Amino acid sequence: MKEKSSVKISFGSRLLYYFLAVVLWIAAKLVLGFRLDIEDEVKKWKKSKNSFVIFSAHPSVVDAIVLQFACFPRYARFVVAAQQLYSGFRGWGLRALHVIPKKQFTPDIRAIMEMIRTVKSGLILGMMPEGRVSLDTTQNPIDPSTAKLIKKLGVPVAVLIPHGTYFVKPPYLAKGIVRGKISGELKALFNEEDVKTLTSDEIMEKLSLAISYNESESLRGTGHKYGSKSKPYMRNVTNLFYRCPSCGAMYTIGSDGRKISCSECGMSIDISREMFFISENKELPDNIAAWNKTQLDYEHGYWSAPGASFSSRVSKTVMHIGSEDSFTEAGEGILTLDSEGMHYKDDEETLDIPLHAIPGVSGEYEKRFVTFYQEDIIRRFYLEDVRMVARFINSLMVLKGLK
């Protein structure tokens, strides 16, 4: 593919970029007590007119705002999931900001060429290599090809670790935010010489370590509180919990946002404003990450048995990347996951996707769907029980050896 000339950013796009940065900064300071700590080396990079890349951890959708703050006052281009550009007003805004659309979980030559153009134009490049928000407050796997991309770009690399963002906008909360504190740390990881001399394996190891996080554990001992006494501060958290850690029953967990209970064994756990679970039984998990660890342990055992599978009745919507159309309804059928891959069947279509050919799956744990790519198609499957989304993703991670 022929390389284009350097990136030209219009006055209107720059005006929109700086307007959003200032407005969001004021809102974040006033509402969420936002603070950003920047290492001296990165401050020097920002004062220069040279390019560098910021890789951000991605526990929450709020991280995109923290990433913009980390780049300010420099203009930056951000890599975003391609389907975001086709989501109404938000899509218009992203296009106006000259973001770089990229297919999730799969190589995208056009996106890579735009990234190269960006750094050659002296701009900051921002991206989130995990590719999706965290299910359980811990880091998602990073594709090894990220190290090759760093070598290809050949510019310094910084890492951004947001704190508290998962809990102010958790993946199970459809609307609004939860009041609480957020912050960020921006640190240098590789200078230009490091990028040249380190091997891809060395780069990958250092990047994975630098960007690792556990939002649940990072809160321990801080005393930070989220939500308010008048509002349930973990409403819908049980969208993530499909298995009881006490009795092992499936799909029996419920919550009012302040207390979690199991309809099968009667287990009852209180939720504190520090986002920990309180119970007299100290064997039970005391945070989201620990609870999901029990579910992942279960899936490792479940999928080791011959013939293991699970199915759900689903409705399906489809969007073709690059078209002007949004998602359209495309029927109802049965979605099955087994050790061979994913299978879908309805009256008009049969899909058999081998495990190795599933590039990745992302979920929105309040809307009951998972997505995956096949060529230039995004399919959303709305599962019959929202908790099955978390199980589907956990199972896929186990089957692919990623968790």
**What tens digit of pLDDT does each residue of 158-178 get?**
999 999 999 999 988 877 888
287, two tokens = 């945070």
Place of tokens 């968790």: 403
- Give residue 173's Cα distance to chain centre: 14
The segment(s) of the chain belonging to CATH 2.30.29.30 are: 306-399
Walk across the sheet containing 268-271 and list its strands.
253-255, 259-262, 268-271, 277-278
- How far apart CA 167 and CA 80 sit, in angstroms, is 22
Report the number of secondary-structure helices (H) and strands (E) in the chain.
12, 18
Q: Residue 2: what pLDDT? A: 46
Place of tokens 């009041």: 179
- How far apart CA 369 and CA 361 sit, in angstroms, is 10
- How far apart CA 32 and CA 170 sit, in angstroms, is 14
- Give residue 174's Cα distance to chain centre: 15
- How far apart CA 398 and CA 403 sit, in angstroms, is 5
Q: How many residues does the chain have?
A: 403
Q: Which residues of the chain have pLDDT under 70?
A: 1-5, 86-88, 321-325, 373-375, 402-403
Q: Residue 364: what pLDDT? A: 74
- How far apart CA 290 and CA 17 sit, in angstroms, is 39
| Number of Cβ atoms within 10 Å of the Cβ of 153 | 20
Q: Quickly list DSSP for 291-302.
A: HHHHHHHHHHHH
Closest by CA position to 114, among listed 230, 198, 8, 250:
8
Q: Where are the alpha helices (DSSP H) in 36-121?
A: 40-47, 63-71, 88-96, 109-120
- At 196 the three-state DSSP class reads helix
Q: Residue 98: what pLDDT? A: 86
Q: Residue 371: what pLDDT? A: 76
Closest by CA position to 16, among listed 79, 82, 98, 88:
98
Q: Residue 103: what pLDDT? A: 78
Residue 30 vs residues 23, 38, 71: alpha-carbon distances, Å? 11, 20, 20
- How far apart CA 237 and CA 366 sit, in angstroms, is 9
- How far apart CA 351 and CA 279 sit, in angstroms, is 45
DSSP letter assigned to residue 157? E
Q: Which helix (H) or strand (E) holds 338?
A: strand 328-338
Instruction: Work out the burial of residue 351: count CB atoms within 10 Å of its CB; fewer than 13 is exposed, 13-18 middle, 19 or more buried.
Output: middle
* Amino acid letter, residue 232: P
41, two tokens = 């080396």
Pick the CATH number of 306-399 from 3.40.50.1820, 3.30.420.40, 3.40.50.720, 2.30.29.30: 2.30.29.30
Residue 276 vs residues 133, 168, 187, 233: alpha-carbon distances, Å? 20, 14, 29, 11
Q: Quickly list DSSP for 129-166.
A: TT-S--SSSBPPP--THHHHHHHHH-S-EEEEEEESHH
Q: Residue 374: what pLDDT? A: 65
> Are 54 and 70 spatial neighbours (Cβ–Cβ below 8 Å)?
yes
- In 166-192, which positions are buried (b, 16+ CB within 10 angstroms) versus exposed (e)? bbbbbbbbeeebbbbbbbbbbebbbee
Cα end-to-end span (Å), the chain: 36
Using left for φ > 0, alpha for ψ between -120 and 50, and beta otherwise, residue 340 falls in alpha
| Extended beta strands in 53-182, E state | 53-56, 76-81, 100-102, 124-127, 157-163
DSSP letter assigned to residue 280? S
